[in-house]
Amino acid sequence: MAADNSSQAASAPSAAPAAPSGRPRAGVRFAGRDLGCVRGDRAIFAGLDFDLPAGGALVLSGPNGSGKSSLLRVLASLLPPAAGQLLWDGADVARDPEAHRARLHYQGHHEALKPELTAAENLGFWAGLQDKSAGAVARALARFGLADLADQPVRLLSAGQRRRLSLSRILAAPAPLWLLDEPSVGLDARSVRTLEAEIEAHRAAGGLVVLATHQPLDLADPRALSVDDFPPAPVTADDDPWAGALW
């Protein structure tokens, strides 16, 4: 995928617009300009823009395969965008990927848990990579009601319990940006409410959340974005670079 730099000169980011909700605190802003994504030889979306202030929640919607997961992976810098720019506080994320990775938690479809290790050991490892103490792990487990399962090998846990354990990984080490790919799948009603409470607490503390979900979560004034509204320009568009070249 050719990371195309020449087009950025044309859409130089203007000064970040004032926080719409009139919040006095000049919190951080997370924005995307003209994002394009190619996975394999297929263009997933193009020309996608979004803007998320501190404390904001962006809910991605769209049918399966419309690119919600791909967008989340682009935001997590796992998948370099084929076009466009990601801006954190006005600064291009690509310029300092380490800093961007340090400020986010990504929760994908996989739970990244080892069946042989216990719940505490699994969480302890991930928190350890963020240099967090055992205390933070215990608190995170407690918040998702897993305190008594701490010493259980993960292979004995149910799918729902594993899902909650995976989500509690995010609470163990605070990071401003949460990227959640269908976090509520497999959770029972009580856990969904816990998840919503945690997200609201995170937002209240000035954090940002981008999540893709099919089951609606009731969050305070979420911003909606349908990835479907940014289909890639079909290959045979007028600006076809092949025109007049073949024969």
Partner 1 sequence: MPKTAPETAAAGGDPGPGLILGFARVVARDLRLALRQRGDALLAVLFFVLTAMLFPFGIGQEPNLLQRIAPGVVWVTALLAVLLSLERLFLRDYEDGSLELMALSPVPLPVIVLAKVTAHWLTTGLPLLAAAPIIALMYGLPAAGYGILLAAMALGTPTLSLIGAVGAALTLGARRGGVLIPLLVLPLYIPVLIFGVSAVDAQMAGLSARPQLLLMGAGLLAAVALAPWAAAGALRQAVE
Partner 2 sequence: MSTQAAAPRKTRSLHRFANPGRFLRLADATLPWLWMACALALAVGLVGAFTAPVDYQQGASVRIMYVHVPAAWLAMFTYTTIAVASAVALVWRHPLADLAARAASPVGASFTLLCLVTGSLWGKPMWGTWWVWDARLTSVLVLFFLYLGHMAIANAFDDAGRGRRAAAILALVGFVNVPIIKFSVDWWNTLHQTASVSRIGAPAIHSSMLWPLLTMALGFTLFFAAILLVRMKNELLGQRLRNLRAASLQRRGEPGAAATGQPAHAES
Partner 3 sequence: MGNELFGEYAAYVWPSYGLTLLVMVGLLAVSLTRLKRLKRDLRALEQAQGGRRRRRSAADADEEA
Task: Pick one of 9, 12, 15, 129: the residue that binds partner 1 (CB under 8 A).
Answer: 129
Nearer to partner 2, 3 or 99 (CB): 3
77 binds partner 1 (CB under 8 A): yes
Task: Pick one of 41, 131, 221, 239: the residue that binds partner 1 (CB under 8 A).
Answer: 131
73 binds partner 1 (CB under 8 A): yes
Beta bridge partners, 106, equal: 179
Three-state secondary-structure class, residue 109: coil
Q: What does the binding site for partner 3 look like in residue numbers (CB under 8 A)?
A: 2, 4, 6, 236, 239, 241, 243-244, 246-247
54 binds partner 1 (CB under 8 A): yes
* CA distances to 14, 102, 132, 171, 213 from 174, in Å: 30, 10, 9, 6, 22
Nearer to partner 3, 12 or 237 (CB): 237
117 binds partner 1 (CB under 8 A): yes
Beta bridge partners, 223, equal: 58
11 binds partner 2 (CB under 8 A): yes
23 binds partner 1 (CB under 8 A): no
Q: Shortest approach of partner 1 to residue 24 CB, angstroms?
A: 14
Binding segment (CB under 8 A) for partner 1, from list 186-194, 203-211, 218-226, 234-242: 203-211
CA angle 47, 49, 50 (to 5 degrees): 160
- Residue 225 gets the label, from left (phi > 0), alpha (psi -120 to 50) or beta, of beta
* CA distances to 38, 66, 109, 219, 227 from 71, in Å: 10, 10, 14, 21, 8
User: For the packed helices 134-143 and 159-172, what is the interaxial angle rounded to 10 degrees?
Assistant: 130
Task: Pick one of 72, 79, 119, 167: the residue that binds partner 1 (CB under 8 A).
Answer: 79
Three-state secondary-structure class, residue 28: coil
- Return the closest-CA partner of residue 167 out of 205, 131, 209: 209
12 binds partner 2 (CB under 8 A): no
CA angle 48, 29, 81 (to 5 degrees): 35
Question: Site residues (CB under 8 A) for partner 1?
Answer: 27-28, 39, 54, 73, 76-80, 98-99, 101-104, 106, 108-114, 116-117, 121, 125-126, 128-132, 173-176, 202, 205-207
